[in-house]
Structure 1
C-alpha cells in the first residue's frame, strides 16, 4: 500500500529528465483562481497513466509562474454512463467544496487552453508516496479526510481512489480527480470507509444540511436532474446524521490506489 500512485508521476522531458515544477503554491484561493483564469498557459508535459488527456502546464501571470493541471474536453474518452464534458464536473466539485466551506478541492476553473476548452486546476505539490491508506493512520489528518469523505457522499463520487487524496506540502489534504462525480444515479465508489458509524460533528452536519439547497454556482456545470439528486443525497445524509458503512463491501473503486 505504500507505493506512490502511478498517475501522479510527473512527466519527463524529451531527454528523460523529470520536469521541475515552476513553484510551490500556498496563496489564498481567490488569488489562485485569478492566476488560473488570467495567466498564459504553456504545456510542460502529459501526465502519464491518465485515462484521459491530462497535462501539466505552467501558468504565467504577473509575478511567479504557477503549476497547474489542464484537462481539455477534446481529450476525454467517451463513457456510456457520463456525458461528455467531464471537466465541468471538476469545476462543480471545486464550487461545491468552496460553498460548503470545506476547501478540500484545489482551485479549478474553465479555460480555453492549447487543446481547447477544459478545466485548469491548481497543481498540488505533495509527497506522492503518501495517499489515503497512509494518511488515515495519523489522527491529525482525520479532519480533512472526514470532509473529503462527506464531500464524496454528497457529490456521489464514483472514483475516490487512495491516490486521489494528496497531502500538500503546505498542510491541507486535497481531493483530486473529480470528473466522475454528480451522476443522478447512486454510483458511490470510495476507499474512505474508516469513519463509518461516526456521528457528524456540528460543523460537518450543518454544512451537509446546507447542500440540500445546492449552491447556485453549480447550475452552470450540472444538469437539473443531477442537482436534484445532489439535494436528495444531502438531505438524506443530514437526517442520517453519521458516516455510513459499506456493509456489502461492494462500493470500492479499482484499482484501490
Structure 2
C-alpha cells in the first residue's frame, strides 16, 4: 500500500509577509477542503501550498457568484481584489492578501484565511439606559421584547475601517465581516459589493458620523488621492471600470475637502440587515 504524501505544516497568516502571501496565493497549488455553507456565494475553504509552505485560504470562483440587481454579473471577485489594492495603498492592511487566480472551477478570488480571536468583542447589545463607556451606539433595537442599543467599540482600529469603507463605498459592512486577531489587528473581509458608482455605504460603523477625521486618516487619504492618479489607478483598471475608479477618487477628494466622516444617505438603508 502506498503511504499518503506528507502534508506541509500550515503557516499561520500572521507569520507571512504580505508579498510572500500574495505569491503563495497566486502561484501555489490550491486544494479544496470544504465549503462555507452560510455564504451567499460559493465560498470554498482551501489550502494553498508553494515551496514547502502551506496556508489556509478562501476561494470564491466567479462561476459561483449569485447575480445581483445593482452590480454587474461576474465582477465580485475583482472587486474583492480591488479592495485589497486600496487597503495596501492606504497603508492600514485592513483586507487580507487577496489575488485573482484560476482554480478548480475557473477564475476567482483567493484570500488568505484569518482566524479571529473568539474572545474579542467589537459589538455589543446594551439595555437602552446603559452608560456606554468606551462604546458608541449604532442603532436602537429590541432584544427579547426589551428596548436595547446595538453599539460598537470606540476603537481607532474600527475607525480606520470606517474610513476605508467610505473610500470603497462598502454596501455591506456587517459585524461578522470584521475579524479581530489575537495580535490586536482587525481585518475586514467580504468586499464583493464595493465600488458602486452610486452612494451605497451601508455599515455598522456609523459611530463617528459627522465627526472630524483623525490626522492619520487625512494623511493616508492624501497619499491615496495621489496614488489613484498614478500606479494604483492603473492596477485597479484590471478589476474596475474607469467610472468606478473616478468615483473612488471623487470619494477620497470629498473626504479630504469636508474633513469629516460621512453621514448616512437618506436614499439607501444605512445599516445592513441582518447586521451580523
| Corresponding position of 1:142 | 155
Provide the alpha-carbon RMSD of the alignment. 2.3
CA distance, structure 2, for counterparts of residue 131 and residue 46 of structure 1? 26
Cα distance in 2 between the residues matched to 1:43 and 1:240:
46
User: Do 2:29 and 2:50's aligned partners in 1 also have CA atoms closer than 8 Å?
Assistant: yes
State the distance in 2 between where 1:172 and 1:118 align: 26
TM-score in terms of structure 1 length: 0.85
Structure of greater Rg: 2
Shift of 1:176: 0.2
**Aligned: 1:48 with 2:37:** yes
| Corresponding residue for residue 240 of structure 2 | 222
Structure 1 segments, 4+ long, off by >4 Å, are: 128-131, 136-141
TM-score by length of structure 2 reads 0.79
More moved, 138-147 vs 150-159: 138-147
8 Å Cα contact 2:175-2:204 kept in structure 1: yes
Offset, 1:245: 3.4
- 2:27 corresponds in structure 1 to 38
Bigger strand fraction? 2
Aligned residues: 236
The equivalent of 1:231 in structure 2 is 249
Conservation of the 8 A alpha-carbon contact between 1:67 and 1:123: yes
After superposition, the Cα gap between the structure-2 partners of 1:48 and 1:156, relative to the gap in structure 1 and judged at 3 Å, is same
Question: How do 1:169-188 residues align onto structure 2 when only pairs under 5 Å count?
Answer: 169-188=182-201
Deviation at 1:174, TM superposition (A): 0.5
| Partner of residue 81 from structure 1, selected from 36, 61, 70 | 70
Find the aligned partners of 1:247 and 1:113 in 2 and give their Cα distance: 38
Q: Describe the SS at the equivalent of 1:110.
A: strand
Partner of 2:128: none
Unaligned segments of structure 2, at least 5 residues: 1-8, 125-133, 137-151
**How far apart are residue 131 of structure 1 and its match?**
5.8
Unaligned ranges ≥5, structure 1: 1-20
Write the distance in 1 (CA, Å) between the matches of 2:105 and 2:183.
31
| Equivalent residues in 2 for 1:1-257, closer than 5 Å | 22-26=10-14, 27-83=16-72, 84-128=74-118, 130=120, 132-134=122-124, 137=135, 142-213=155-226, 214=228, 215-216=232-233, 217-246=235-264, 250-257=269-276
